[in-house]
Structure 1
């Protein structure tokens, strides 16, 4: 694994916008000189490295599924801040194996040892279009003889084709709270993959989904019954909404309710409990840092690196945010590797239960947040 520099393609902004990456100009807070999509640099991997990463990610996913089963079997929902009234519904969703689509592992990896799991974005992961489409065309334009860990697009279409969904259109829903357009862009892309799989789809804002109390069903703006919904709206928000008690029992939601267990950072502590010393895990605890001298406190339901606290013998660091009322997990702190002053996080994609590809975000800081840039990668042919 190494980081290389290269000249951006002439007119790269228009190229990526034509491929759907419309929000890249609004993706960063104001005042940053580096673009969100940065093809002036990229990472290079060997095929052996990618094969090893793929095997590790597949094992991590299997471990996460077993951890979810453990939580359901032992009733440990309170540790995940799952409301008591919703616990049985989470269990039923898991027992039915309600269909799921995709997820993204965030990994620490420097090319010299096993990847370390930082978290699993298993409910509403983004940076998808960048990983599946945009960096693929970058590869074809700049290094056509090389390869890339990237079968995301094809696997998404295949997964939609394999799903058994209720009759009628599948609705694709975003929230009007999306200020940058990232969620709308991601949703439009996923809707396109479903269309290519032959599904009948309809786009709708979450705020426009109505509840028909007489017939006890969700409806869209045309009063059509909503039977299945893909949502870019986290389950913890849904459970806190007034319609949350209806949502857990009506309609097929993708991602399903049981994904609320995998997208919660309490999962990190459960994994360490079930697989202590596993080479792809970092020690993690829910009841405090215990014997960890260097650790990072992560809110169970935090997003974009907000409300985190790093503690080391040499000092600490905090990020602003309003998360944490739901509790924290304390994970051993292993600083992201330094490549030319930048620290990459590897985002390894799962589609259904299969590893599907890789996206990389990097920043100069110790915590990957909304100031990070997405950079492409390639697999060097021998």
Structure 2
């Protein structure tokens, strides 16, 4: 694994916007000297590195599924701050094995040892368009003889064909809270992959979904019955909503309810408990840092690096945010590796239960947040 620099393509802004990355300006805070999509740098991997990472990702995914089974069989929902009324519904979703679509592991990796799990976003992961589409076309334009760890698009289409969904169109729901357009474009891309798989689709805002009390069903603005829906709206928000009790019992949701256990950072502590010392894990606990002198406190339901606190013997760092009322997990802190002054986080994609691709975000700081940039990668031929 190495980092290389180069000259961006002429007119790269219009190129990536035409490929779906229309939000690259809005998704990045104003005043930064570096763009969100930065093709002046990229990472190079060997095929052996990628094959080894693929194997580690799939092992981590299977460990996470076993962790869900453990929570359901032992009833440890309180560790995940899931409301008591929803416990049985989460169990039913898992026992039915409600179908799931995709997810993203965030990993620490420096090319010299096992990848370390930082967190798992298995409910509403974004940075999908740039990972699946935009960096693929960058590769074809700049290094056409090389390969890329990227079968996301094909696997998504295949997975839509496999999903056990009720008849009628599948609704694709974003939230009006999205101020950058990132969720809307991610949703539009996923909707396109579903249509390529032969599914009829309808786009809708979550805020426009209605409840037909007489028919005991969700409906769209045309009063069509919503039988199945893909949502970029976290389950913890749905469970806190006035209609959350209806949502867990009516309609087929993608991602399914049991995935609320995998996008919750309490998972990190449970994995360490079930697999202590595993080479792909960092120590993690729910009751405090214990023996760790260097650790990072992460809110169980935090997003975009908000409300985190790093503690080390030589100092610390905090990020602002409003998360944390639900509790924290305390994870061993290993600084991200440095390449040319930048610290990359590997976003490894899983579609269904198989490794599917890679997206890389990097920043100069210890915590990857909305100031980080996405950089492409290639596999050297």
TM-score tier (shorter): over 0.9
Cα deviation digits, residues 323-380 of structure 1 (max 9, x gap): 0000000000000001111000000000000000000000000000000000000000
The whole-number CA distance in structure 2 between the counterparts of 1:262 and 1:176 is 25
Whole-angstrom distance in 1 between the partners of 2:27 and 2:66: 35
Query: Which residue of structure 2 lines up, in the alignment, with residue 83 of structure 1?
Result: 83
Pair 1:109-2:96 in alignment:
no
Partners of 2:42 and 2:52 lie apart in 1 by: 20
- In 1, distance between residues paired with 2:285 and 2:321? 21
Measured after TM superposition, the shift of residue 30 of structure 1 is 1.1
Deviations 1:68-114 (A, max 9, x none): 10000000000000000000000000000101000000000000000
Pairs within 5 Å for 1:3-82: 3-82=3-82
The answer on 1:308 being equivalent to 2:290 is no
Correspondences of 1:96-245 after superposition (within 5 Å): 96-245=96-245
- 1:113-166: CA deviation from partner (whole Å, max 9, x where unpaired): 000000000000000010000000000000000000000000000000111100
Using the TM superposition, give the Cα deviation of residue 27 of structure 1 relative to its aligned residue in structure 2, in angstroms: 1.1
Residue in structure 2 matched with residue 331 of structure 1 by the alignment: 331
Q: Does 1:279 align with 2:294?
A: no
How high is the TM-score relative to the length of structure 1? 0.99
What is the TM-score with the length of structure 2 in the denominator?
1.00
Listed as ranges, the gaps of 5+ residues in structure 1 are none
Counterpart in 2 of 1:322? 322
- Deviation of 1:215 after TM superposition, in Å, equals 1.1
CA distance in 1 between partners of 2:131 and 2:43 (Å): 13
C-alpha distance in 2, partners of 1:137/1:29?
A: 25
* Residue in 2 that maps onto 1:347: 347
Q: Deviations over 1:253-273 (max 9, x none)?
A: 000000000000000000000
What are the superposed Cα offsets for residues 239-262 of structure 1, whole Å, 9 maximum, x if unpaired? 000010100000000000000000
Deviations 1:260-297 (A, max 9, x none): 00000000000000000000000000000000000000
Root-mean-square deviation (CA), in Å?
0.4
- The answer on 1:252 being equivalent to 2:267 is no
CA distance in 2, matches of 1:38, 1:10: 13
Find runs of 4+ consecutive structure 1 residues off by over 2 angstroms. Answer: none
Secondary structure of the residue aligned to 1:137 is helix
Q: Please list every run of 5 or more consecutive structure 2 residues that lacks an aligned counterpart in the other structure.
A: none
Give per-residue Cα distances to partners, 1:28-86, cap 9 Å, x unaligned. 11110100000000000000000000000000000000001000000000000000000
